[in-house]
Chains A and B, each alone.
Chain A
Amino acid sequence: MKNSIIYIFLLFAMVAGFAQEQKMSGAEATAFKNAVNATAKSTKTLTTDFVQYKHMDFLSKDIETLGKMSFKAPSMLLWQYTKPYQYSVVFKNNKISINDAGKKSAMDMGNSKMFNKLNKLIVGSVNGDMFDESEFTITFFKTTEFTITRLIPKDAALKKYIKEMELYFDKKNMVSQVKMTEPSNDYTTIVFKNKVVNAPVPDSVFNN
């Protein structure tokens, strides 16, 4: 009797375990992609705070960094770390400018394929516009809380940095969490919070 109760309990636990992450059907994935693309398209501005957790297997705890991000369509982006250090990157007019605690530098990325990819990756991570099948092998999963998109790079250059990316979408089809796994299996998780969509964002925000 006792054994069968345990057996039933285990069975439930297993079913619950499977229910946690369920692969989407083709039709579900298509509907989801369309919904995300529509949301991304209607996103003219976006500001959000984030917490970045860097996980390395040998550390006692993840390294935590706070920051904020501002995006203005089509392609202005500010990615700013505020605590415990100040470091910000602005993507604007095909240029990338860095402000490292007052030390400034700039690069033209017009002809840098890698930086263009990086820009697309960051913007895509935030607004979800990442479903480029020529760049990634993509699979879709759902849990009760999130829709998870798992992207595996096809490009050899990108593969050296990223083994796999996971985008967690909330029920409003907005990215709420990004997990980037490196070839060594160490990973970085970025959790977005206090997200504001389509509020006025002045261009001066993107001066670095």
Chain B
Amino acid sequence: MRRYQILFLTISSCLLLLSSCAVKTVDGFEQKETALKSYTAQYFSDPAKDYVYKAQISVYGRDFGGIFIAKKINDTLYRAAFTTEFGNKLFDFEVTDNSFKVNYILEELNKKIIVNTLKRDFMLLLKKHHDVAQQYESAQNTVYKSNDGKRFNYIFTDKTSGRLSRLVNATKSKEKTIITYNAESDILAQNIVIDHKNIKLKIELNYLQQ
């Protein structure tokens, strides 16, 4: 009996520990009944448009720049490419909601840790459909929570404009990546910041009017 008591105490203290470490992304938000089955992201959705951005990458105190290009190829497929200012291509990926293919990556960048980070970031940035599991609300935002493998995506939309303003990729206990959008229209975010919480990596994208 005593053994069970100890076991119970251990489990409940573990649970307490877990719940106290739970991700704070929607703290203070009110949970609502889910009104949407699936949330569809609108940025990057015009197949006639080349989405060209000046990129600033800051990684562990080192800064460098380049040009980021995203292009919707068909209903499910995106291309995501990166070049230097001079035009040399550094990488070129094919991304869908659930697949990722490297068309090209410069040998010097072809390291597992780099490719996996870029893969995660650009799959998140270009993800079109998010199945909604839960919904939260505050005065300004409606937030859709969606399952993403072992992680979760919190999709913050602005109540006034209806536009996606923030996307938080998190585990149960920690925020990992936060994407912040400043939008010019429903289909174009002119400023995007991809900020990492677990590594010192920040990518800022500013749209270039062609």
Give the Cβ gap from B103 to chain A, nearest Cβ, in Å.
Answer: 8
Q: List residues of chain B with CB within 8 A of the CB of A160.
A: 106-107
Query: Does A161 make an interface contact (CB < 8 A)?
Result: yes
With A56-B81, A58-B71, A58-B79 as given contacts, are A85 and B54 in contact (CB-CB < 8 Å)? yes
On whether A184 and B50 interact (CB within 8 A), knowing A56-B81, A87-B65, A103-B63, the answer reads no
A127 located at the interface, meaning its Cβ lies under 8 Å from any Cβ of chain B in the complex: no
In the complex, whether A180 has a CB less than 8 A from a CB of chain B is yes
Which of A84, A87, A161 contacts B210 (CB under 8 A)? A84
Smallest CB–CB gap between A107 and chain B, Å?
11
Task: Tell me, yes or no, whether A186 is within 8 Å of chain B by CB.
Answer: yes
**Complex CA distance for A161 and B106, rounded to whole angstroms:** 8
Q: Quick one: which of B42-99 are within 8 Å of A by CB? A: 48-50, 52, 54, 56, 63, 65, 67, 69, 71, 73, 79, 81, 83, 85-89, 92
Chain A residue numbers with a CB within 8 Å of B56 are 100, 103
Binds B, one of A7-15, A19-27, A59-67, A135-143: A59-67
Q: Which residue of B lies closest to A104 (CB)?
A: B63
**Residue in chain A with minimal CB distance to B52:** A63
Residues of A within 8 A of B92 (CB): 56, 184
A105 within 8 A of B: yes
Please, which residue of chain A has its CB at the minimum distance from the CB of B103? Answer: A184
Contacts of B48 in A (CB 8 A): 60
The digit string for A91-115, where 1 denotes a CB below 8 A from any CB of B, is 0000000001101010000000000
Is B8 close to A, CB under 8 A?
A: no
Give, as a whole number of angstroms, the nearest-CB distance from A74 to chain B: 22
**Cβ-based interface call for B39 (8 A):** no
Query: When the two chains form their complex, are residues B85 and A81 in contact, meaning their CB atoms are under 8 A apart?
Result: yes
**Complex Cα spacing A160 to B106, Å:** 8
CB pair B71 A59 closer than 8 Å: yes
Residues of B within 8 A of A100 (CB): 56, 63, 65, 85
Query: In the complex, are the beta carbons of B50 and A59 less than 8 A apart?
Result: yes
Q: B54 → chain A, closest Cβ, in Å?
A: 5
> Known: A54-B83, A58-B79, A103-B63. Contact between A63 and B210, CB under 8 A?
yes
Q: How far is the CA of A23 from the CA of B89 in the complex (A)?
A: 31
New contact pairs (9) apart from A63-B210, A84-B208, CB-CB < 8 Å: A56-B81, A58-B71, A63-B50, A84-B209, A85-B85, A87-B85, A160-B107, A184-B92, A188-B86
- Sorted nearest first, the 6 A-B pairs with minimum C-beta distance are A188-B87, A54-B87, A84-B208, A87-B85, A85-B54, A58-B79
Query: Which B residues form the contact surface with A (CB < 8 A)?
Result: 48-50, 52, 54, 56, 63, 65, 67, 69, 71, 73, 79, 81, 83, 85-89, 92, 103-104, 106-107, 208-210
